[in-house]
Structure 1
Amino acid sequence: MTTETRMLSAPSRRAVSVRAIINNAGIGLALLALILFFSLASEFFLTANNITNILTQITINLILAVGMTFVILIGGIDLSVGSVMAFAAVVAGKAITLPGLGVVELIALACVAGLLTGLISGLLNGVISAYWGLPSFIITLGMLNIARGAALHVSDAQTIYSFPFAFEEFGSALIYGVPVVFLVALLITLLAWFVLNWTVFGRLLYGIGNNEEAVRLAGHHVFWLKVAAFTICGFTAGIAAIIYMARLSISSPIAGIGFELNAIAAVIIGGTSLAGGRGSVIGTLLGAFIIGVLANGLILIGLNDFMRQMITGVVIIVAVILDHYRAKYSAT
């Protein structure tokens, strides 16, 4: 790391930390308000079973949103994560149902296959977008269609099932009422928080979002940093695919439709700027909780799917408007 970067990194880290605490406090208060409202509106909301349901339901979105945070921090976006998740799940599903192997070998093979599928997809997104300087919106839109078509082709448009019992048991396992799959998502979130806040790589991602040219002039390889951000996003889609398979005991080529929008929504609601350079993975965690609590609570109070979609859309728009004013406040 150069002298200039060291001189700038400490004050920048303190400034980002203060802003993150302020933003996350506001998001946390919004989450508490939602919890209070639904607790009063439905007697079933704060039951142990329903809390377990909420934690289970937000797991996949949280994992996808954590990966999406890396991409949005550099000013990009990844529209392909839902389709990549489906493709990774189908590849892993084919692997885990191969004949002639033991249970441990099948599970290990499936995990490696799913994770590599997600990683390679994210790597391709990053290389194509960064090398040619093309908008990630367009590149990942293309990958969305490629991955979805590949998922349908590999599976012959059929759902894959009949997984080993040990694998399915992992998807439904609880530790003191907390789903194991949620604990995996939480561990991923904490690891991402550490990387973004306490490593040079993480600080440089913030730097690219704020001033890409300054990072380049400081002697860092912006190309590979961008590729790494997209690769991480694809890798988390692979993790989400394995969790999805374990939870539902199937691999469907049409899984994950619209998941990219939920992941982006969690990141935006969590306070990460679409312009890049500002945000927090802890905010993303809170954003995923807000979406999960909102979806669960609206079901309990009896609203239909159409109303739930409308209300969720309003929340996203409000979050974008708030981000606009946060950006103006930060610039003054």
Structure 2
Amino acid sequence: MAKPTFTESIGVVAPTSTELSTGARVIKFVADRGIIAFTVILIVYAAIFVNGFASLPNISDVFYRAAPIGIVALGMTFVVISANYLDLSVVAQVATSAVIFIGVSNQAGLAPAILLALLVAVIYGVVNGVAVGFFHANAVIVTLATTFVGLGVLRWLSGGSIFFGPNGGVIQSLGQAKVGPIPLSAIVLIVMAVILGFVLQKTTFGFSIRSYGSNKAATRLAGVRTGQLVVGAFLITSISAMVAGFVLAAFSNTAVSSMAEGYDFQALAAIIIGGTSVFGGKGSVYRTLLGVVFVSVLTNILVLVGLTFGAQQVAIGVLIVVAVSIDAIARKLVKN
């Protein structure tokens, strides 16, 4: 008798399409693949009907502004898939990375700044991961606490000052660099998506993250070191937040402790709208990338047509409610 696969042993066996009604298949398709169609439709609509959207300066601006949030979202996808909801401390992590990148590089050069930012990212990832993965603390409470601690330490050490990179310096040059018409920040976003997508889809670690998100108890029984797994997910988020801080600092050539406010919510919006389930076990880095594009394009459209920031928040909030509801319905239909 053939030995069951790991996926079969933990009970993650999807039903075939013939077991679902037509309506259920439509809902499941929207939950799994709808972001692709919606993103294409939105871009085509904007290019045809929204004045100024298709101009090269506007498209470049969309990518410039989307890159830092997108990089955070790509990394946080691992935490969400592991069924740990989100990492609120990315707000502090991005800001800390940006301040270190400019503040330390002004005094000691880029290499020490990058190494110090990497050390801080590892500390965040290990603290969050150990508390959640080994002590089984609530991820929202833990990362909210590390956000307050991190921002408090950053403001204490920096005095709340704004740091500026030198005009014409390396950091400003990196922030303004392009490869042809494509901003360097967009290339960094794509490279991060390729690397993290490979890790999630093609490695044992990525498979274990998805399995753990689907069934934590069974994954533990299968011999997976789940504590280390969760630490790894938070470390990936922290490294991504560090890179996002570099990109954000280079884009504006400034850094301040308050510069990443709202990044936790915006990253989560892109993840959920992209189709990654807040219940864990299902998701994709590439779908998160599509979610980033969708949210960025939608926000840009709302700005171009003159809607206020409040209206933009309402639109994104409604989209999150719809995406979560569709995912919940799809899961219920599949289980039934």
**Aligned CA distance change for structure 1 residues 311 and 22 (closer, same or farther; 3 Å):** closer
- Runs of 4+ with deviation above 4 angstroms: 3-9, 11-15, 19-24
Match of 2:104 among 89, 95, 106: 95
Residue 14 of structure 1: how far off its partner (Å): 9.6
User: For structure 1, which runs of at least 5 residues remain unmatched after alignment?
Assistant: none
Q: Which residue of 1 aligns with 2:159?
A: 156
Deviation digits for residues 66-123 of structure 1 (CA, Å, limit 9, x no counterpart): 111000011012111012111222233331111xx5xxxx112222222221221121
**Which range moved further: 119-128 or 253-262?**
119-128
2:33 matched to which residue of 1? 25
Amino acid at match of 1:187: V
Amino acid across the alignment from 1:208: Y
The alpha-carbon deviation at position 179 of structure 1 amounts to 0.7
Matches within 5 A, 1:204-243: 204-243=208-247
Letter paired with 1:63: I
| Residue aligning to 1:312 | 316
CA RMSD of aligned residues (A): 2.3
Task: Report the Cα offset of residue 172 of structure 1.
Answer: 0.9
Instruction: Work out whether residues 28 and 330 of structure 2, in 8 Å CA contact, stay in contact via their aligned partners in 1.
Output: no
Q: 1:54 aligns with which of 53, 62, 68?
A: 62
Return the match for 2:272 from 254, 268, 289.
Answer: 268
Query: Given that residues 193 and 281 in structure 1 are in contact (C-alpha distance below 8 angstroms), is that contact kept between their aligned partners in structure 2?
Result: yes
Between the aligned partners of 1:167 and 1:312, the Cα distance in structure 2 is 32
> What is the distance in 2 between the residues matched to 1:4 and 1:120?
39
2:82, 2:213 within 8 Å by CA — same for their partners in 1? yes
- Tell me whether 1:188 sits opposite 2:187 in the alignment: no
Q: Is the 8 A contact 1:23 1:271 kept in 2?
A: yes
Q: Percent identity?
A: 30
Q: Which residue of 2 aligns with 1:112?
A: 115
Contact 1:20 1:280 in 2 (8 A): no
2-structure distance, mates of 1:300, 1:51: 12
- The one-letter amino acid of 2:105's match is I
Please name the residue that 1:45 is paired with. Answer: 53
Q: Which residue of 2 aligns with 1:81?
A: 90
Deviation at 1:251, TM superposition (A): 1.3
CA separation of 1:49 and 1:166: change in aligned 2, threshold 3 A: same
Contact 2:132 2:138 in 1 (8 A): yes
Counterpart-to-counterpart distance in 2, 1:311 and 1:255? 23
Do the aligned residues in 1 keep the contact of 2:31 with 2:326 (CA within 8 Å)? Answer: no
TM-score (normalised: structure 2): 0.89
For structure 2, list consecutive stretches of 5 or more residues without a partner in the other structure.
Answer: 16-26
Q: Structure 1 residues 282, 71: CA separation in 2 closer, same or farther (over 3 Å shift)?
A: same
Once the two structures are TM-superposed, the CA of residue 256 in structure 1 deviates from its matched residue by 0.6
Aligned mates of 2:83, 2:202 — CA distance in 1: 20
Is the CA contact 2:94–2:260 (under 8 Å) kept in the aligned structure 1? yes
Pairwise CA distance, 1:331: 2.1
- The answer to which of 108-117 and 19-28 deviates more is 19-28
| Secondary structure of 1:271 counterpart | coil
Check 1:67–1:31 CA distance in 2 against 1; reply closer, same or farther (3 A cut): same
Contact 1:41 1:301 in 2 (8 A): no
The answer to whether structure 1 residue 127 and structure 2 residue 130 are counterparts is: yes
Are the aligned partners of 2:210 and 2:280 in contact in 1 as well (CA < 8 Å)?
yes
Q: Does 1:36 align with 2:44?
A: yes
Change (3 A) 1:171 1:78: same
1:245 deviates by: 1.1
For 2:255, what is the secondary structure of its paired residue?
coil
